[in-house]
Structure 1
Amino acid sequence: MTENEMVKKPRFLCLHGFRTSAEILKKLIMRWPQNVLEKLDLDFLDAPFPALGKSDVEGTFDPPYYEWYQLDQEYTEYRHFEECIAYMEDYMIKHGPFDGLLGFSQGAFISAVVPGMQAQGVALTKVPKIKFLIIISGASFTKHKLGLPKLATTAYSSPIECPSLHFIGEMDFLKPLGTYLLESFLDPVVIHHPGGHTVPRLDEKGTEIMLRFIEKIQKILSHEAQTSSNMKAAL
């Protein structure tokens, strides 16, 4: 196996924010520098449920808009969370394998909790392990309001070991919760930006951090590919 064959683009399933869409997230991500985008294989998925109310991006981005799950007015009961996870798994079976998840806002809540649920065998049991995360304006379910999806009850009981990159905006209303989320991960990488609850453009420093993160996960994938190749050769 040549070096070029061993260095693959990490493949991410990308989960958009509340009452937006895959197309909207794609437009925002595509503003990142080309030298970052060319190193990633990104697949953008629409959430399973049409938006049940007004979207904050109306007038800025065209509909349709979708949501991954719903909460009651007291933020204590999650509806359709299990269906959402099953929907994701079905897509991953048909279109995978995926190396990681990239999520923004509501999509980031899901992305951040999936590795813990998967490790405990309560979700995504039919697909390969999620190895990497890119979390944009995310938070931990355990610190978000009062509710907690049943599947995620103990997802953060052990540290999340997969390499993770977290975007935290200085003006983001979720900044305190996004900062708290870092405590659930081993050696999280963080890109701080001056903006609010958004997918930020990457400045020179952010681009440098992102490229180092991608290089790190590419080395992990290359090592896995080499190990697999050696095992096949030994058979």
Structure 2
Amino acid sequence: MSPPTKTPLGSKTSLKILMLHGYTQSGPLFHAKTRALHKALTKALPTHSIHLSYPTGPVHLNPADIPGYNGPSAAEAGEDMEPAYGWWRRKDMPHPTQKGETAVVYTGLQDGFTRIADTIAEEGPFDGVIGFSQGACAAGMVASLLEPGRRDAFSSSTSQKDVMETEPFPTSFSSLNQPPLKFALIYSGFIAPGTRYIDFYKPSLKTPTLHFLGALDGVVEESRSQGLIEVCEGAKVVTHPGGHFLPSQRPWLDAAVGFVKECLEQVTAGDNGNNKRDTKGKEENVEDMDVPF
């Protein structure tokens, strides 16, 4: 277990969090959308110096890549078009072994991992990760990749199955000086589908996770969010009454901050939390919660 990182003056403990934006967003846009969360963390953790890092995904999206977009083309919009990025593009392709079936392939995924790994190498090590939508899916995979033994799981799986069906362990993560994360906050997250990505989730994730689900989310199907929750040991789940967005009202900020504080306290006490996180998949409405957890 790595000791807490101190600021140059040694007055506060440094808390570094990797922030992964959603599809069609960017690092600066996600920064703007999470100011309330940053402020809440700063207020709740006065003994910590909070550092949030906002990389931008490497996939530059065109209007045709944006679901539901019916405005002008990129050429017509010119400089008025808001820059949009992703960590990968989804592509449905013929299944390599099952005739007539399709398989989901995340094209550009390795480039996305390289961008994240570069951020970890340059600005880390990080204590936790926070992701929204596609960035939440990426956050789950990043937490998985940083857990002990994950690379062995990839190697074992590749030796047993058709290599075309499995995503390889990212070489960009092979030599990172980054310990396992202490927590992951997953907003409108989902599991990467199909056997191609099974090695990220088997064995299940042990990193403490808090999942935020929107009761009116019309973008991410609940079954896909539940799929990710089910592979996270001791996952905590909070449902808010809104849609596909990162909630910034007080109850949900308190839930997020309370979870981060709980995870940090467990690490400080020398407890990895496994004996306390026994409420796998437990779902709560904020109105019924007693926060912090």
Q: Specify the SS of the correspondent of 2:120.
A: helix
Q: Residue 134 and residue 159 in structure 1: after superposition, are their counterparts in 2 closer, same or farther (change >3 A)?
A: same
195, 202, 205: which one aligns with 2:242 = 195
- Residue 23 of structure 2 is aligned to residue 18 of structure 1: yes
Question: What's the counterpart of residue 41 of structure 2?
Answer: 36
Gap regions ≥5 residues in structure 2: 72-79, 94-102, 152-168, 271-293
Q: 3-state SS of the aligned residue for 1:10? A: strand
SS state at 2:256 partner: helix
> Which of 129, 135, 158 is the matching residue for 2:179?
129
Note the C-alpha offset of 1:135: 0.6
Partner SS state of residue 107, structure 1: helix
Deviation string, structure 1 residues 34-68 (Cα, Å, up to 9, x no partner)? 33344443111111121133546989x96221111
| Normalised TM-score (structure 1) | 0.78
Alpha-carbon distance in structure 2 between the residues aligned to 1:211 and 1:31: 11
Alpha-carbon distance in structure 2 between the residues aligned to 1:57 and 1:97:
38
Is 1:213 the equivalent of 2:232?
no
* Per-residue CA distance 1:122-175 (angstroms, 9 max, x = gap): 342322134121111101113xxxx56x5x331111121111111110011323
Larger radius of gyration: 2
Give secondary structure in 1 for the equivalent of 2:200: coil
Shift of 1:223: 4.5
Calculate percent identity across the aligned residue pairs: 22
Question: How far did 1:201 drift?
Answer: 1.5
Cα distance in 1 for residues equivalent to 2:128 and 2:68: 26
Pair 1:191–1:37, CA change in 2 (3 A): farther
Counterpart amino acid of residue 161 in structure 1: K
Aligned twin of 2:204: 159
Q: For the structure 1 residues 62 and 167, does the alpha-carbon distance in structure 2 shift closer, same or farther, using more than 3 Å as the test?
A: farther
Taking only aligned residues, the RMSD between alpha carbons, in angstroms, comes to 3.0
Residue aligning to 1:68: 87
SS in 2 for 1:11: strand
Q: CA deviation at 1:73?
A: 4.8
Counterparts of 1:33 and 1:99, CA distance in 2: 15
Contact 1:8 1:222 in 2 (8 A): no
Segments of structure 1 that go 5 or more residues without pairing to the other structure are 225-235
With normalisation by structure 2, the TM-score equals 0.64
C-alpha distance in structure 2 between counterparts of 1:15 and 1:101, whole Å:
8
Q: 1:101 aligns with which of 122, 129, 149?
A: 129
Change over 3 Å in CA distance of 1:8–1:163 after alignment to 2: farther
Measured after TM superposition, the shift of residue 115 of structure 1 is 2.7
The answer for the alignment partner of 2:111 in structure 1 is: 83
Q: Does the CA contact (< 8 Å) of 2:53 and 2:123 recur in 1? A: no
Pair 1:198–1:219, CA change in 2 (3 A): same
Match for residue 59 of structure 2 among 49, 52, 56 = 49
Change in 2 beyond 3 A, CA 1:182/1:213: same
Q: Which has the larger displacement, 180-189 or 102-111?
A: 180-189
**8 Å Cα contact 2:55-2:115 kept in structure 1:** no
Flag the structure with more relative contact order, 1 or 2, with Cα contacts below 8 A and sequence separation at least 6. 1
Tell me, yes or no, if the aligned pair for 1:115 and 1:130 is still in contact at 8 Å.
Answer: yes
| 3-state SS of paired residue (2:142) | helix
